[in-house]
Chain A
Amino acid sequence: MRFSCNWLQDFVDCADVPTARLAERLSATGTEVERVLEWPGGPPGVVLARVVELERMPRSDHLWLTRVDAGGPEPVAVVCGAQNLGRGALVPWAPPGTVLPGGTRLGLRRIRGHPSSGMLCSPAELGLGAEREGILLLDGDAAEPGTPLADVVGADRVLELEITANRPDCLSHLGVARELAAALERPLRRPDCTPPPRSGEAARELVRVAIANPDGCPRYCAEVVSGLPDRPAPLWMQQRLRAVGMRPLGLIVDLSNYVCLELGQPLHAFDLERVRPGGDPVLVTVRPARAGEALLGLDGVERVLDPPTVVIDIGGVPSAIAGLIGGMAGAVVASTSSILLEAACFSGSAVRGASRRLGLRTEASVRFEKGLSPELAPVGAARFVHLAHHLGGARVHPGPIDLHPGARPPGPPIRVTGEALGRALGMAVAAPEAARALRRLEFAVQEVGDRLAVRPPPDRLDVTIAADVLEEVGRSLGYDRVPATLPGRRCPAGTVASPAAREAVRELALGAGFDEAITVSLTAPLVADRLRPLAPPWPPIEVRNPLGPQGSVLRLSCLPGLLQAAAANQARGAERVRLFEIGRAFWGPSAAEPPEEPLLIGLVDHVPGGDADEAARRLRRLVALVVGVGGRCADGPPEVRQGRVPGLHAARAAELWAGGRRVGAVGELADGAREALELRGRTVVAELRLDGWLLAGGPAPQARPIASTPALVEDLAVIVPARAALGPALAAFAGGRVPHLESWRLVDEYTDARLGPAHKGWTFRLVYRDPARTLTGAEGIGLRAAAMEVLAEAVGARRRENA
Chain B
Amino acid sequence: MTRTLQAQDVAFAYTPPLDVFTHVTAAVRSGEVTGLVGPNGSGKSTLLRVLAGLLRPREGKVLIDGRSSGHMSNRQRARILGFLPQLVNPVFSLSVFEVVCLGRYPHLGALGATQPHDRAVAERCLRDTETLDLRDRDFMALSGGERQRVLLASVLAQEPDLLLLDEPTSALDIHHQIEIFALLKRLAGEGYGIGVVTHDLNLAARFCNQLFLLSHRSTGLVAAGKPENVLTEALLSEAYDAPIRVCRHPLTGAPLITAEEPAEVTP
- A and B interact physically: no
**What residues of chain B have their CB less than 8 Å away from a CB belonging to chain A?**
none
